[in-house]
Amino acid sequence: MDLLAGFRVVEIAHPFTEFAGQIFAGLGAEVWLVETADGSPTRSRTPRVPGAESSSRASLAFLARNTNKRSIVIEDARALTELCNGADVVLDCGSSVWHAALTNVETPVVVTITDRLGLGNSSIVGFAASGGMASSGWADRAPCNAPSWLAHDGASIYAAVMAMVATLNGGGRVEVPYEEAAVASITPWTRTLMSYGMQAAGQGINTVRMGDAGFPIYATADGYVRILLATTKSWGAFVGMLGNPPDLTEGPFADAEFRRENADALKLLSAELISRQTTNELFRRGQALGLTISPVYSLEEFRSDPHVREREVIAEVNDPEFGAMDLVRPPFRLTGADVTQLRPAPALGDGGTAPRHRSHGLASRSLADLTVLQLGVGAVVPEAASMLALLGANVIKVESRVHLDFLRNVGLNGPLDYDNCPNFNQLNLGTRSLAVDLRTEEGVDVVRQLAARADVIMENMRGGVVERWGLDYASVRAVNPDVVYLSSQGFGRGVYDGFQSFGPNLQTFSGTTHLWAHADDPFPVGTTLNHPDHVAGKQALVPVLAALALRKGLFVEAAQFEAAASLISDRLLEQFYTDGPIAGRGNGDADFLLHGCFPCEGEDAWIAVAVESEDQQARLTEAVGADIAAWTSTRSAPDAETELRSFGIPCSRVVTGDDMAANRSSLFATLPHPTSGTRDYTGLPVLIEGERPGAVRPPLLGEHTEEILHGVLGMDETVVADYVARKVVGY
């Protein structure tokens, strides 16, 4: 049976709610898309199925983003109330025509995405407000918009997660402020970096567009690759991939300090060597040596990759109106529940009348009673686990000084200042830290005992690591059959099982970087944001929380590159209908009367503006005249933003680290820390019954070791003391 069979979701049709509805539909929920007689706004989007432009289903965006849903046309508040009163969840938008009518519905859970700043329905304004646009593209060009609807879908992911959290809590009303969720899902550590006085890849105190300098991209004989060199080991793999050329192994470049001081010269020399080989040769050889390297794929190349094909990321669906088409399937694989088959997006009103609601078997369950064992590093799993911690769960992170989480590597006082690292601290709020050496049998046994008691286990280790510890799903399930287990690697299982990856490499592999570009860019560089890291783990929380509510064991595999692909599903469908690779749209969007990013007074200051209607266009022309770029260039970005908003024009300055540091929103929490001092952190962009969940400071490494061993496992004091003395634990 599908995981969420019998679970009814009413989705008020809007670009903000669309992705949340699709997550639920992909897990087997009965999703009713509430539309007016004119249909969902997405039905009017371009491009459209060739030769079928007049059909209400012809929008490629609508077809890609509304699979497995049912459409119902609602014409009065009474009919809407009746539908909602028979549902488990309502996904609402504060600016929808039906928002006021939902005030008194009896639905157990209502989640509303609000747009307090009037950012509007475009992709570019929300992305500019998130702080992500300031780090995207080339420095000598306008900041570049992300492909598809990254800010919208980040808010939608939070809405889906909170719908399941509220279901576990027995019901409630949740608000997800759009502008806050855009920050939390795209640039969550920018405010933290500012507070620590640090920077990372164009974010923080030096907000810049780094082009190909942040995460280097090199031309090959037949394309491009992205290569990350962060450690001595990766340098050895890099020169090995190139055949150990003497210029790199025997000359001055053999010295790490010389390489740092002469990075530009090193890149020129390396580029010449790389350009002689094909993308696939470099990718396969580099990965075999342990190098983090990935191709910069077009969508055409992504679709034909053997790993993508083996995992069946894209499925052929027979559409009743348009015939065979390729659609991106949900980015989860579940063991313990049926795979929901893809169904085409609905015709307008084709769902008919909603039948009597069926029982779904989900039950209330307090997050405070749940133990989550976190075997993660970096961003994806730790950040998702931290969200559960801030919502009340007992999250235990397993780590050690022996094998540091790589985000603990650089702190306020330089390398290995592991308790004072802003990125780590942001992504591990509320987590408890257990320091244990997993090279020892006693250490592994400690974690196995915790696994036997855990409600949830989450891991994103390289392939084979948890198996060697006996902490893989099969091993844990043998002693804990009800465990819910999330496994999230960059590439997942298959042809590239065990390949090295970080978020920037998954951008390039998935085709996202190829689309994240202006038409006149030298070559696509996308962004130095760690996309899809900040969304991949969170959307995987939806099936995890559903299984907890069902009180059933479940294995969830969530390959991170598939999360990236799911966010550009509309462009992948466009590629299906296009001969040759499709290109990035830069800051343009043909569905808006105006959609762009314009220079403001001052150094590298910009504002994003989108005009959605003739009425807005008339007000804009009256306010600024015919040349908006000339008008914005004589005003600071904050002043231009204030003036345009006063005329009801959706806009946002391209938010920088300085802007975020000055933001007084309650999204940002100021917390004391034993060694880092009092710093700012990004909290949860949600309000539950009008209240924001409290933020809790991140842990010192091993801070809770003895507390966990005594309090959770009940270990004898003499045994714990012996383990501490021998550095089995606490180190």
Tens of pLDDT, residue by residue over 38-84, are 999 999 999 999 999 899 999 999 999 999 999 999 999 999 999 99
Q: Which residue has the tokens 């749209």?
A: 585
Instruction: Return residue ranges of the chain for CATH 3.40.50.10540.
Output: 367-502+533-560+704-725
Closest-CA residue to 705 (of 695, 692, 719, 693): 719
Closest-CA residue to 137 (of 644, 606, 518, 572): 518
Residue 438's pLDDT is 96
Residues 655, 128: contact at Cβ < 8 Å? yes
Residues 6+ positions from 232 with CB-CB distance below 8 Å:
256
Q: What is the pLDDT of residues 430-446, one digit of tens each?
A: 999 999 999 999 999 99
Residue 358's pLDDT is 61
Closest-CA residue to 416 (of 427, 428, 408): 408
Residues 516, 191: contact at Cβ < 8 Å? no
Number of neighbouring beta carbons within 10 Å of residue 67: 24
Residue 363's pLDDT is 86
| Superfamily of chain region 587-656 | formyl-coa transferase, domain 3 (3.30.1540.10)
Residue 359's pLDDT is 66
Per-chain mean pLDDT for the chain: 96
| φ/ψ (deg, to 5) at 486 | -105, 125
Q: What is the pLDDT of residues 293-349, one digit of tens each?
A: 999 999 999 999 999 999 999 999 999 999 999 999 999 999 987 777 899 999 999
Structure tokens at 727: 């550095």
* Beta bridge partner(s), residue 92: 112
Instruction: Return residue ranges of the chain for CATH 3.30.1540.10.
Output: 587-656
Q: Is residue 16 pLDDT above 70, yes or no? A: yes
Q: Is residue 353 pLDDT above 80, yes or no? A: no
Longest C-alpha distance within the chain, in Å? 79
Q: Is residue 698 pLDDT above 70, yes or no? A: yes
Q: What is the pLDDT of residues 89-132, one digit of tens each?
A: 999 999 999 999 999 899 999 999 999 999 999 999 999 999 99
Residue 641 vs residue 259, higher pLDDT = 641
Residues 510, 561: contact at Cβ < 8 Å? yes
DSSP calls for 643-688: HHHHTT--EEE---HHHHHH---TTEEEE--TTT-SEEEE--S-EE
Q: What is the pLDDT of residues 552-582, one digit of tens each?
A: 999 999 999 999 999 999 999 999 999 999 9
Residues 483, 490: contact at Cβ < 8 Å? no
Residue 695 vs residue 251, higher pLDDT = 695
Residue 15's pLDDT is 97
Three-class SS string for 123-152? HHHHHHHHCCHHHECCCCCCCCCCCCCHHH
Closest-CA residue to 609 (of 576, 570, 580, 635): 635
Q: Which of 35-44, 117-126, 353-362, 383-392 has the lowest mean pLDDT?
A: 353-362
Instruction: Report d(CA 299, CA 197) in Å as an integer.
Output: 38
Please determine, looking at this structure, whether the domain spanning 367-502+533-560+704-725 carries the CATH number 1.10.3720.10. Answer: no
Instruction: Report d(CA 218, CA 222) in Å as an integer.
Output: 11
Q: Is residue 495 pLDDT above 80, yes or no? A: yes
Q: Is residue 5 pLDDT above 90, yes or no? A: yes
Residues 6+ positions from 712 with CB-CB distance below 8 Å:
371, 396, 450, 453
Residue 339's pLDDT is 73
Q: Which of 208-217, 434-443, 583-592, 610-619 has the lowest mean pLDDT?
A: 208-217
Q: Give the helix/strand (H/E) hosting 9.
A: strand 8-12
Number of neighbouring beta carbons within 10 Å of residue 57: 23
Q: Is the peptide bond before 47 cis (omega within 30 degrees of 0)?
A: yes
Residues 715, 429: contact at Cβ < 8 Å? no
Q: Across residues 4-24, what is the average pLDDT?
A: 97
Percent of the chain with pLDDT over 90: 93
